[in-house]
Amino acid sequence: MRLTLIIVTVLAAFVAAGPAAAEVGYLLPELNVPISNANPVSGSFDVRLAVSGAEVGLPASAFAVELSVGSSDVTLGDATGPANPLFTGGTLLNFSDSSQAVQAAQDLYSSNPGSAPLVDGKGLLSVPFSIATPTVGEYSLSFGGLNELADDAGAAYALNVSDVGSISVFLSGDFNRDGSVDAADYTVWRDSQGDPVAAYAAADGDGDGLIDDDDLLVWKGQYGASIPSLGAATAAPEAASLALVGLGGWWVAGRRKRRRGCF
Ligand SMILES: [Ca+2]
Ligand SMILES: [Ca+2]
C-alpha cells in the first residue's frame, strides 16, 4: 500500500512538471576587428540560434530578426544566409529602414513546406557591416522589438533576445587598448609571454590565442601608430518605433497568409 502511494506520488510529480522545455534564443557575436590605420573597414557577422534544454531539433516554420548597432559610425547591410544556413532554399526578406538596423525574415512555408529543425549554434543571418572612418572602441549590437520564431503550427516560440553583441575595433599591436602603439604595449607583451589567452586578448597581436614572438613582430610593425578612441560617444539607433510596429504587423500577416496557402 505504501509503495503504491509512493509510485503514484512520483508519477503525479512527473506529470505536473512535464519534460524540461527547451530554451530558444537568438545570439549576437562579439567580433574583434584589428586595424592598422584609419582606412575604412568592412566585414560581416552571423546572428545565430541558441537551443538548450531537452529538445534540440525543434520544428520551425519562420523567423524574423531585428537588430541594431549603437553607433551612427557603423553601417549595416542587407542580411543574407550564412555559410551554414539552418534553412536551405528560400530567400531572406530584408525590410530595414535604417543603415544602423537590420530587419530580415524568412517564411519557410513559402519555400519549404513542413518543418525544419532548430539546432543549437546554427546561423540565421549573415550581416555585412562597414565603418567609413573607424575609431578604436566597442560598437554595441542589440536586438530590437521585432523578433519572432514560429513552430510548424505557426505558433511563436518563447524567444530569448536578451543577448548583446559587439564589434570591437582596435589598433593592431595596441595591447593595452589606449589607441597608441608604444612602450607601454611592449610591457604588456613582456609580462604575458607564453600565456594562452582568448584570441586577441592581452598581447595576442595575431589572434592565435598564444602570446609569443609573433605578437612582438605585430607590435614592432605598428610602433608609433595612433588612432582616436571611440570613447563613450555612441549614438542611439535611428530605427523609428512606429515604423517597426507597422513592419511587424505586415510580417505576421504575411507569414500567416503564406502558411494558409500551403494546406
Ligand atoms: Ca597602447
Ligand atoms: Ca599570438
DSSP letter for each residue of 207-219: SSSB-SHHHHHHH
> Is pLDDT of 259 > 80?
no
Angle, nearest 10°, between helix axes 213-222 and 183-192?
180
Q: For residue 68, how far is its CA from the centre of ligand 1 (angstroms)?
A: 29
Q: Kindly state the percentage of the chain with pLDDT values over 90.
A: 55
Q: For residue 209, how far is its CA from the centre of ligand 2 (angstroms)?
A: 5
What is the value of pTM for the model shown?
A: 0.77
Query: Which ligand neighbours the alpha carbon of 229 most closely?
Result: 1
H helices of 77-209, where? 183-192
- Under DSSP, the state recorded for 229 is B
pLDDT for position 118: 86
Q: For residue 72, how far is its CA from the centre of ligand 1 (angstroms)?
A: 25
Are residue 195 and residue 98 in the same domain, yes or no?
no
Q: How far apart are CA 207 and CA 215, in angstroms?
A: 9
Which CATH number do you get for residue 240? 2.60.40.680
Q: How far apart are CA 10 and CA 1, in angstroms?
A: 14
> Is pLDDT of 34 > 60?
yes
**How far are the Cα atoms of 19, 81, 256 from residue 78, in angstroms, in the given order?**
39, 10, 24
Q: Count structural domains, the chain.
A: 2
> Is pLDDT of 243 > 60?
no
Torsion of CA 253, 259, 261, 263, to 10 degrees: -150
pLDDT for position 84: 74
pLDDT for position 19: 54
Are residue 191 and residue 214 in the same domain, yes or no?
yes
pLDDT for position 107: 81
Are residue 92 and residue 144 in the same domain, yes or no?
yes
Are residue 37 and residue 98 in the same domain, yes or no?
yes
Query: Which ligand neighbours the alpha carbon of 182 most closely?
Result: 1
Q: For residue 142, how far is its CA from the centre of ligand 2 (angstroms)?
A: 30
| CB contact at 8 A, 32 and 207 | yes
Query: Which ligand neighbours the alpha carbon of 196 most closely?
Result: 2
**How far are the Cα atoms of 27, 76, 101, 144, 247 from residue 240, in angstroms, in the given order?**
23, 16, 10, 11, 11
Give per-residue pLDDT as tens, 142-153: 999 999 999 888
Q: For residue 188, how far is its CA from the centre of ligand 2 (angstroms)?
A: 13
In a domain, 11, yes or no: no
Number of residues in the chain: 263
pLDDT for position 11: 42
Are residue 115 and residue 142 in the same domain, yes or no?
yes
SS3 content of the chain, % helix, strand, coil (to 5): 20, 35, 45
Are residue 217 and residue 146 in the same domain, yes or no?
no
Residues 6+ away with beta carbon under 8 Å from 123: 46, 47, 48, 49, 81, 82, 83, 84, 85, 86
| pLDDT band at 24; cut points 50, 70, 90 | very high
Q: For residue 174, how far is its CA from the centre of ligand 1 (angstroms)?
A: 4
In a domain, 3, yes or no: no
Q: How far apart are CA 32 and CA 22, in angstroms?
A: 30
| pLDDT band at 108; cut points 50, 70, 90 | confident
Give per-residue pLDDT as tens, 109-144: 665 556 678 888 889 999 999 999 988 999 999 999
Which residues constitute the domain of residue 161? 21-171+236-260
Are residue 201 and residue 112 in the same domain, yes or no?
no
Q: Which three cell numbers stand for residue 81?
A: 544566409
Average pLDDT, the chain: 81
Q: For residue 82, how far is its CA from the centre of ligand 2 (angstroms)?
A: 28
Are residue 107 and residue 55 in the same domain, yes or no?
yes
Q: Quick one: average pLDDT of 226-247?
A: 50
In a domain, 10, yes or no: no
Q: For residue 213, how far is its CA from the centre of ligand 2 (angstroms)?
A: 8
Q: For residue 201, how far is its CA from the centre of ligand 2 (angstroms)?
A: 9
Q: For residue 32, how far is its CA from the centre of ligand 1 (angstroms)?
A: 16
Lowest-confidence pick of 20-29, 105-114, 155-164: 105-114
Query: Which ligand neighbours the alpha carbon of 136 most closely?
Result: 1
pLDDT for position 5: 46
Residues with CB under 5 A from ligand 1 (ion): 174, 176, 178, 180, 185
What is the widest separation between alpha-carbon atoms in the chain?
84
In a domain, 98, yes or no: yes
- Under DSSP, the state recorded for 157 is P
> Is pLDDT of 58 > 90?
no
- Under DSSP, the state recorded for 109 is G
Query: Which ligand neighbours the alpha carbon of 202 most closely?
Result: 2
Are residue 191 and residue 118 in the same domain, yes or no?
no
| pLDDT band at 87; cut points 50, 70, 90 | confident
Q: For residue 75, how far is its CA from the centre of ligand 1 (angstroms)?
A: 27
Are residue 86 and residue 114 in the same domain, yes or no?
yes
Query: Which ligand neighbours the alpha carbon of 173 most closely?
Result: 1
pLDDT for position 15: 45
Give per-residue pLDDT as tens, 168-223: 999 999 999 999 999 999 999 999 999 999 999 999 999 999 999 999 999 999 99
| CB contact at 8 A, 77 and 100 | no
In a domain, 16, yes or no: no
Are residue 104 and residue 64 in the same domain, yes or no?
yes
Q: For residue 193, how far is its CA from the centre of ligand 2 (angstroms)?
A: 9
In a domain, 5, yes or no: no
In a domain, 147, yes or no: yes
Measure the CA angle with vertex 204, ends 199 and 209; round to 5°: 40
